[in-house]
Amino acid sequence: MSFKSLEDLRAACLDLPAGSDTAASAVARRQDTLTKPQGSLGRLETIAAWLGRWQAREMPKLDTVKVFVFAGNHGVTAQGVSAYPSEVTVQMVANFAGGGAAINQLARIAGAKLDVIPLDLDHPTGDFTQVPAMDEQAFLAAVSAGYNAVTKDLDLVCFGEMGIGNTTPAAAISAALFGGGAEKWTGRGTGVDDAGLIRKITAIEAGRKRHADSLSDPLKIAAALGGRELAAIFGATLAARKNNVPVLLDGFVCTAAAAPLARLHPTGLAHTIAAHVSAESGHRRLLEALGLPPLLDLGMRLGEGSGACLAVNIVRAALECHARMASFAEAGVSEK
């Protein structure tokens, strides 16, 4: 798939499958027969039904789980918005390849394959305080790269990112989509000091002012204020919906990247679960705005898909209970 125009992409975003009510109902019925008080496993029960709905299977499976980490560089780092230099993005991609990052360890214990996709790292996006981060064609190319990464054979996907400076576009997108000043959405990212935080807020407000004509359109917001890895996550989230693949979203950047889909379609993120709420200050607000309660709250703020990958273990636990617990009749246990 290669999206040729914003209107082509918009049409795809407005035509989303609803998931299988039949499969979700079958999962819920089985849950009610298992040897436990009904509802006593809490979200583990609803996770099982969520898997069933979006896989369109009455007995879901998790044989093929993949973590996608999209990497991009950002021109807005010229505004001093990050505590780290932009070359760290390339260095971390090499670290992923060498197996030395947190996500490598978390993917291994989750039984997930890791796929790292760098996106034109030698050519940062435009500094959105001066120009759009991406023109239409660059944005569509990044969206298409993410879209084409997600295939129908996957049972569950996690999305993550690597991109020095990318909490700044994430905050800018959040502010543009949901309102409020930049200060409401902006955190310290990789650990900027007070002066760095002011520079981030100033850059976001400058970007919103410069691109004011685009702020009524979620796709134009994502192009003008975002980044290639965010655009790829957007495309991958859309492809997962089209391909009946449930999604675990990672932290602030990943959630902000997917958020335009929720503004384009009222159930745009129904196939996703927020794996965790990060320590980045805007993330909790963004999840509340999207109506996505997080599974975990561990004070994490790494990115890389780390929180999403960690949550795979919870999803596996939900499926194991659903698939392997005995019913009251099978176990000879009296019901109430």
Active site residues: 304
Q: Which two tokens stand for residue 229?
A: 């890895």
Q: 133 Cβ partners below 8 Å, 6+ apart?
A: 74, 75, 76, 125, 126, 127, 169, 223, 224, 225, 226, 227
Q: State the CB neighbour count (10 A cutoff) for residue 224.
A: 28
Would you state the structure tokens that stand for residue 30, as one six-digit string? 């089985």
CB 189 within 8 A of CB 200: yes
Residues 6 or more apart whose CB falls under 8 angstroms from that of 45 comprise 28, 31, 39, 318, 322
Longest dimension (CA), the chain: 70
Please count the other Cβ atoms lying within 10 Å of the Cβ belonging to residue 213. Answer: 9
Radius of gyration of the chain measured on its C-alpha atoms:
20
Provide CB contacts within 8 A for 80, sequence distance 6+: 196, 199
> Which residues 6+ apart lie within 8 Å of 336 measured at CB?
none
Of 87, 272, 65, 64, the C-alpha closest to 162 is 87
Closest C-alpha to 41, from 277, 291, 324, 308: 324
